[in-house]
């Protein structure tokens, strides 16, 4: 009997079997309790968690709960339990609370919270939101539990150096705009930043920033950026990586001046002009923040699972009962309770493995698609260039060079895409350079995009040595001035540069454009410009 025929025979029986209940992890939060109420901050946070839990329990939690001790409470599915482990150096308190969904039968929400105090350190807070359901597809809009807002308002929470604020940050000064720019490229930033801009003629963003800030509290930062301050992002990152005109952008951790702009999603104002568009955008941002919180927050390191803590507590209880010579019945009950906790811990680990396995497969698929798209784009760009030249035209002849350094990076992104790209160091060098001749630097990049790139693609690297770019400007190998840099996850060497003649070191007149050829993407990567680098040779 074929497998298809066998399945057809068994399908009526399978339909009568109870559906499998699966537990899905929705989000994770890791933070430091940073209020001025220390050393009582940990107890204040615990109190807020218990108040929130009791409001959903349908009754009164036992007195042991309010003493922050271990407890169990059962109330028609609104069950909760707590555990506490104390020793000379640490004090860990954890709670797990269930709450049936008010609209979807069989769907149970579970919130886990851990508040830990270590000697000499600020208290730590972590939380997990999970849902158990028989649904084949989980259709939800993630929202951080309200207890996080209570703790943030009563005690204060932070992630690293960044405050977890229940309200959006509204940029009102240039210093705040500069601070936003620096935070976006901060390698220590752990949460996504959702930047909501205000249209030129508007008085507020097109999305409700307050609602979004509450929904992603602890898993994302929300910033409202008025139109006059959007220039700070454009000047630093260029238009492809900026956001303005009422648009919204998500800047994920790891963003940099040379980041793939498509990895940090942009939603244009036109897409937010309708109610449906706003709802879809808000839903997408909440889902993104929740997904990133699970992907970037390590279970057992940044966030502790309730099952793991309860298992340790039960193990300590077992040891104590043995030492005290407790009865076999008491020891057996403790052993059974620990087995249940261990089974739950194993399920947690299996769920995490399944999640990251699915994420790995998805990432591989995206990477393969991106590589194919990059190759196709490079081929298409070259095809169009060949067509223009076959008709006797020149792409460079229609390009106007920038008038100031402020627009130089954006000009390069817009006019040289696919041929010349700026590294983060080159973008930094273009912010306020001392070198005065902007048009000369632009003409040199046009030469790289056309003459130099064409010869590279034809294998003519040798013919480029000491090639004249224009009078007084030549292309040469760096020699001892070459240097290494990181580019898109690989270590590369900037071994060529364009420089002006003579021996000048006057930064107003001394031009250096350091670069290397990236054969994989058929682009020239500008490693640094326009100043002369200080190296061992100089």
d(CA 30, CA 298): 9
Contacts of 303 (CB under 8 A, 6+ apart): 28, 29, 30, 114, 126, 127, 128, 297
pLDDT band, very low/low/confident/very high, at 327 (cuts 50, 70, 90): confident
Lowest-confidence segment of 42-51, 120-129, 254-263 by average pLDDT: 254-263
Q: Give the per-residue pLDDT at 370.
A: 59
DSSP-derived pairing of the beta strands 157-159 and 90-100 = unpaired
Whether 515 contacts 496, CB under 8 Å: yes
Q: Give the per-residue pLDDT at 218.
A: 97
Q: Please give the sequence-ordered ranges of beta strands (E in DSSP) within 210-284, or none if there are none.
A: 221-225, 248-251, 266-267
- Per-residue pLDDT, averaged over 352-356, amounts to 63
pLDDT band, very low/low/confident/very high, at 16 (cuts 50, 70, 90): low
96, pLDDT greater than 90: yes
Neighbours of 7 (CB within 10 A): 10
32, pLDDT greater than 60: yes
Q: Give the per-residue pLDDT at 39.
A: 61
For residue 220, give the DSSP letter.
B
- Per-residue pLDDT, averaged over 422-436, amounts to 89
1, pLDDT greater than 80: no
Q: Give the per-residue pLDDT at 356.
A: 63
Assign 3-state DSSP to the chain and report helix, strand, coil percentages, each to 5.
45, 25, 35
Q: Give the per-residue pLDDT at 208.
A: 96
Which range has the top average pLDDT, 55-64, 308-317, 407-416? 55-64
pLDDT band, very low/low/confident/very high, at 258 (cuts 50, 70, 90): confident
* Domain boundary assignment for the chain: 21-164, 168-296, 305-344, 360-391, 396-528
The radius of gyration computed from the CA coordinates of the chain, to the nearest angstrom, equals 30
Which of residues 315 and 270 earns the better pLDDT score?
270
Packing angle between helix 146-154 and helix 41-57, nearest 10 degrees? 150
Q: What SS3 class is residue 69?
A: coil
Whether 173 contacts 242, CB under 8 Å: no
Say which residue the tokens 């990133």 belong to. Answer: 292
pLDDT band, very low/low/confident/very high, at 369 (cuts 50, 70, 90): low
Nearest Cα to 210, choosing from 292, 129, 282? 282
DSSP letters along 166-178, please? Answer: SS-EE--SHHHHH
Whether 501 contacts 472, CB under 8 Å: yes
d(CA 209, CA 198): 11
For residue 73, give the DSSP letter.
E
How does the average pLDDT of the chain come out, rounded? Answer: 85
Contacts of 267 (CB under 8 A, 6+ apart): 247, 248, 249, 281, 284
Whether 82 contacts 89, CB under 8 Å: no
349, pLDDT greater than 70: no
Q: Give the per-residue pLDDT at 22.
A: 81
pLDDT band, very low/low/confident/very high, at 15 (cuts 50, 70, 90): low
H/E run at residue 292: helix 275-296
DSSP-derived pairing of the beta strands 420-422 and 80-86 = unpaired
Q: What SS3 class is residue 287?
A: helix
Say which residue the tokens 């054969």 belong to. Answer: 519
**pLDDT tens, position by position, 213-255:** 999 999 999 999 999 999 999 988 888 899 999 999 999 999 9
H/E run at residue 213: helix 209-215
Q: Give the per-residue pLDDT at 348.
A: 66
366, pLDDT greater than 90: no
Q: Give the per-residue pLDDT at 397.
A: 60
Whether 45 contacts 155, CB under 8 Å: yes
**pLDDT tens, position by position, 277-320:** 999 999 999 999 999 999 999 888 899 889 888 888 877 777 77
Please provide the distance, in angstroms rounded to a whole number, between the alpha carbons at the two ends of the chain: 80
Q: Give the per-residue pLDDT at 375.
A: 63
Which of residues 312 and 191 earns the better pLDDT score?
191
- What is the percent of the chain with per-residue pLDDT over 90, rounded to a whole number? 48
Q: Give the per-residue pLDDT at 473.
A: 92
d(CA 452, CA 461): 9
In whole angstroms, how far apart are CA 242 and each of 86, 170, 268, 400, 471? Answer: 49, 17, 11, 22, 36
**pLDDT tens, position by position, 464-513:** 888 999 988 999 999 888 999 988 778 899 999 999 876 666 888 899 99
Pick 168-296's CATH classification: 3.30.70.20, 2.40.50.140, 3.40.30.10, 3.40.50.720.
3.40.30.10
Neighbours of 103 (CB within 10 A): 6
d(CA 526, CA 453): 13
Which contacts qualify for 518-523: CB closer than 8 Å, 24 or more apart? 518/487, 518/492, 519/456, 521/374, 521/378, 522/378, 522/382, 522/418, 522/419, 522/453, 522/457, 523/378, 523/418, 523/419, 523/420, 523/421, 523/453
Q: Tell me phi and psi for residue 80, to 5 degrees.
A: -150, 155
Q: Environment class of residue 163 by beta-carbon count within 10 Å: exposed (0-12), middle (13-18) or buried (19+)?
A: middle
Q: Give the per-residue pLDDT at 314.
A: 77
Q: Give the per-residue pLDDT at 377.
A: 63
d(CA 199, CA 216): 23
373, pLDDT greater than 70: no
H/E run at residue 454: helix 453-457
């Amino acid at each position: 009997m074929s497998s298809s025929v066998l399945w057809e025979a068994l399908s009526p029986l399978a339909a009568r079997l109870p559906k499998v209940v699966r537990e899905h992890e929705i989000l994770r939060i890791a933070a430091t309790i940073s209020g001025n109420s220390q050393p009582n901050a940990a107890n204040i946070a615990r109190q807020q968690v218990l108040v929130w839990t009791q409001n959903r329990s349908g009754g009164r939690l036992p007195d042991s709960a309010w003493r922050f001790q271990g407890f169990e409470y059962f109330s028609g599915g609104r069950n909760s339990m707590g555990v506490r482990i104390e020793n000379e150096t640490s004090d860990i308190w954890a709670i797990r609370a269930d709450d049936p969904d008010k609209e979807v039968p069989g769907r149970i929400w579970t919130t886990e919270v851990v508040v830990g105090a270590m000697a000499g350190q600020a208290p730590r807070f972590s939380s997990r939101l999970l849902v158990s359901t028989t649904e084949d597809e989980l259709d939800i809009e993630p929202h951080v539990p309200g207890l996080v807002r209570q703790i943030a308002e009563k005690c204060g929470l932070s992630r690293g150096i960044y405050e977890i604020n229940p309200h959006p940050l509204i940029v009102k000064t240039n210093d705040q705009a500069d601070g936003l720019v620096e935070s976006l490229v901060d390698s220590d930033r752990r949460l996504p930043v959702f930047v909501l801009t205000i249209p030129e003629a508007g008085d507020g963003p097109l999305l409700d920033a307050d609602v979004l800030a509450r929904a992603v509290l602890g898993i994302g930062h929300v910033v409202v950026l008025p139109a006059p301050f959007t220039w700070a992002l454009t000047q630093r990152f260029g238009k492809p990586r900026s956001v303005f005109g009422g648009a919204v952008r998500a800047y994920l951790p790891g963003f940099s001046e040379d980041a793939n702009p498509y990895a940090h999603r942009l939603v244009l104002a036109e897409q937010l002009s309708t109610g449906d568009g706003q709802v879809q955008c808000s839903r997408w941002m909440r889902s993104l923040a929740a997904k990133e919180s699970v992907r970037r927050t390590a279970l057992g390191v940044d966030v502790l699972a309730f099952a793991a803590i309860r298992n340790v507590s039960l193990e300590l209880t077992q040891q104590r009962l043995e030492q005290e010579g407790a009865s076999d019945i008491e020891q057996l009950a403790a052993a059974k309770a620990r087995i249940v906790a261990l089974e739950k811990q194993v399920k947690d680990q299996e769920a995490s493995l399944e999640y990251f396995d699915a994420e790995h497969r998805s990432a591989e698929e995206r990477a393969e698609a991106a590589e194919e798209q990059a190759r196709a784009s490079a081929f298409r760009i070259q095809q169009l260039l060949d067509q223009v030249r076959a008709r006797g035209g020149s792409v460079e002849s229609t390009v106007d060079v920038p008038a100031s350094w402020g627009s130089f990076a954006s000009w390069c992104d817009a006019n040289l895409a696919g041929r010349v790209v700026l590294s983060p160091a080159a973008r930094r060098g273009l912010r306020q350079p001392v070198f005065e001749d902007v048009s000369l630097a632009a003409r040199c990049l046009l030469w790289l995009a056309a003459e130099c790139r064409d010869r590279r693609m034809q294998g003519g690297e040798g013919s480029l040595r000491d090639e004249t770019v224009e009078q007084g400007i030549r292309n040469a190998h760096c020699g001892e001035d070459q240097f290494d840099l990181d580019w898109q996850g690989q270590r590369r060497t900037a071994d060529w540069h364009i420089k002006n003649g003579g021996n000048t070191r006057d930064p107003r007149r001394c031009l250096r454009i350091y670069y290397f050829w990236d054969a994989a993407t058929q682009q020239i990567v500008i490693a640094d410009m326009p100043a002369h680098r200080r190296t061992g040779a100089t």
